[in-house]
Structure 1
Amino acid sequence: MTISGSKTLLPRRRRARRTGLRGLVYIAPAMALVIAFFVIPVIFTGWMSLHNWPLMGGTRWIGFRNYVRMFHDARFMSALQFTAYYTVIVTIAIFAVAFPLAIFVEKQRRFVSAYRTIIFLPVVVGLATASLLWVWLANVDSGFIGPALRALGWVDKSPNLLASFDSAFLTIIVMVVWKIAGFTMIILLTGLQAIPAELTEAARIDGAGRWQRFRHLTLPLMRKTIALALIISVTGSILAFDQFYIMTSGGPQNRMISVVYYIFNQSFVSFNLGYGAALSIALLAILVAISIIQLWLLRVREGKP
């Protein structure tokens, strides 16, 4: 390399260094927030999980006993099974509603903006507020669902929808789909709009029907969008708490206690803060593992190593 060439590289390296430092300055506030509100709390929670940590009194180091206790806790395993069951059912239900809605509002038609707004409106309602609203709707005496079912001739008298497991579970599923489907629809809509119209038109000219275009063109091109919506839906379902706490209080017969609900009971009802911290760390590990598996499957299907 000549002397003139080395002199030319120096300004470039300085500019690259300045650009890197400028980028660090820009992301520093976000990094500070992540460290303050995620990294430090996770580290402290991990430290708590290694102690017998009552609400009152001193703490005592017990090592991994809380984690050993977790594997022998039948109620925690029951909450884990219920959460997995709920996650599968509600995720399928959300996609079954959101995908047709996304296809419906993707096409340009009259009042399509109004349709999108109406479908998305429940998303802006807080989950706790939505749960309270559906508790009122399902009320035997003053609710709306009971009279509607009687008017349709499906029941003879207004049922107590939150009294049995099957009806309460179905009510919660319907509420969550009503609340979340609009958000998933928007994510899927962005994926649909990113598909080049030329490809769809070419497939139509080649004689591909709607189902063939959807299966062989739309789904493959929306793989990343679907993966993103799936990760968000699965993560949110595993962390479900508000609807079970507000609508059923874990009942009937404590059959609707999710993992987060159980962690809440152990930490703030029974005041086993150390054990609750261990359960929280275990839940975090489950979420990370599920996200990694989903991303890995996405890469494999794309043909990447």
Structure 2
Amino acid sequence: MANTETIQAATTRAASKKKKWPAFSILFILPSFILYTLFVIYPTLNSFNLSFTNWDGVSDTIHYIGFDNFVEMFHSERVYNALKNTLIISISLVVLENILAIMLAMLVDQVKWFKNLFRSIFYFPVLLSGIVMGFVWAIIFNYNFGVINQLLERIGLESLKVDWLGSPKYALMAIIITTVWKGAGYYMIIYLAGLQGIPPELHEAAAIDGANRWQQFRHVTFPLLAGAMTVSVMLSMISALKIFDQIAVMTDGGPGFATETLTYIVYKVGFGELRQGYGTALSLVLFVLILVVSLIQAKLLRQREVQM
């Protein structure tokens, strides 16, 4: 009984000594909170309201049209095409970026000399803005004077020249290649941190047991990279679902609508066709898509971490 009273008394003294939050402390976060509310929270909430209108983004008058925007959206072949392109790009980027990132991370981790130099070289594309990178690759893929077609012509394979950005068959592929080149270095850093956290004794024990390099990767390295993979896959998917810069610079959604994605069609409809209400409705659908995909990914990848 005495011990219980002693513990309660100590707890009471500790609580009384605990400093209270000064009222004036709110002044330090108030400016940031006001700006965040004005430029993020309010526009986000207002977008729900605008999605039920036919506002053109310019006029002062706003007419409510109910669910007409959503009905039109779900009957639009252009939207379904943009959704298909978004899924193709997203799945391709998640797979290719993470595979390349793991390969680069393992390569850099094994290098004994100039490790920081190689790490900087592979990470450099991440530092380029999407606009600059898009212009550079648009020149590389140019049919007449692009590096790829010029190289094919020089080695006598002129018949294999491809109109990368002007052909519906290859334009989406060109955007995927460009984005993988830019993004793989970012995820390489995440995987490199994961590799450096793996105790070398595990690989030594596997080697002693007769495991070759592939078996060591399959049964030691890959399972222990589960945490890094969860982060990388989720970031890669979210980035892919809202891809914009590369498409805007390289193809402008063309040829035709061959490379339009949900993000780009929101921009084209809202600002190009002056249909802000319809564009806002599309952006809400994109938001829900990203939210659902992220939640499903997080659940599946977390389960994978537990299993491994």
Do both proteins adopt the same fold according to a TM-score greater than 0.5, normalized to the shorter chain?
yes
Task: Find 1:91's aligned residue among 89, 94, 99.
Answer: 94
How big is the shift at 1:42?
Answer: 1.6
1:191 aligns with 2:194: yes
Verify the 8 A CA contact 2:171 2:258 in the aligned structure 1. Answer: no
1:206 aligns with 2:209: yes
Alpha-carbon distance in structure 2 between the residues aligned to 1:260 and 1:198: 47
Alpha-carbon distance in structure 2 between the residues aligned to 1:14 and 1:285: 46
Deviations 1:142-183 (A, max 9, x none): 432222222344325854322212332332222112111111
Q: What residue is the counterpart of 2:11 in the other structure?
A: 9
Q: What residue is the counterpart of 1:182 in the other structure?
A: 185
Deviations 1:193-215 (A, max 9, x none): 11122222222222222222211
How many residues align? The count is 304
Alpha-carbon distance in structure 1 between the residues aligned to 2:188 and 2:95: 13
Q: What residue is the counterpart of 1:270 in the other structure?
A: 273
Verify the 8 A CA contact 2:171 2:259 in the aligned structure 1. Answer: no
Q: How does 1:41-120 map to 2 (within 5 A)?
A: 41-55=43-57, 56-120=59-123
How big is the shift at 1:220?
Answer: 1.6
Q: TM-score, normalised by structure 1?
A: 0.88
Alpha-carbon distance in structure 1 between the residues aligned to 2:84 and 2:41: 28
Verify the 8 A CA contact 2:266 2:282 in the aligned structure 1. Answer: yes
Q: TM-score, normalised by structure 2?
A: 0.88
Alpha-carbon distance in structure 2 between the residues aligned to 1:165 and 1:254: 9
What is the CA RMSD across the aligned residues, in angstroms?
Answer: 2.8
Alpha-carbon distance in structure 2 between the residues aligned to 1:164 and 1:189: 37
Q: How does 1:204-283 map to 2 (within 5 A)?
A: 204-283=207-286
From the superposition, tell whether residues 17 and 205 of structure 1 become closer, same or farther in structure 2 (CA, over 3 Å).
farther
How big is the shift at 1:44?
Answer: 1.4
Verify the 8 A CA contact 2:226 2:304 in the aligned structure 1. Answer: no
From the superposition, tell whether residues 26 and 297 of structure 1 become closer, same or farther in structure 2 (CA, over 3 Å).
farther
Question: Alignment identity in percent?
Answer: 33
How big is the shift at 1:133?
Answer: 0.9
- Greater CA deviation, 164-173 or 231-240? 164-173
How big is the shift at 1:239?
Answer: 0.7
Q: Which runs of 5+ in 2 are unaligned?
A: none
From the superposition, tell whether residues 206 and 114 of structure 1 become closer, same or farther in structure 2 (CA, over 3 Å).
same
Alpha-carbon distance in structure 1 between the residues aligned to 2:7 and 2:23: 25
Alpha-carbon distance in structure 2 between the residues aligned to 1:274 and 1:34: 23
Amino acid across the alignment from 2:11: L
Verify the 8 A CA contact 2:230 2:302 in the aligned structure 1. Answer: no
Q: What residue is the counterpart of 1:296 in the other structure?
A: 299
Q: Secondary structure at the match of 1:165?
A: coil
Amino acid across the alignment from 2:265: Y
How big is the shift at 1:115?
Answer: 1.0
- Greater CA deviation, 249-258 or 289-298? 249-258
Verify the 8 A CA contact 2:78 2:257 in the aligned structure 1. Answer: no
Amino acid across the alignment from 2:41: V
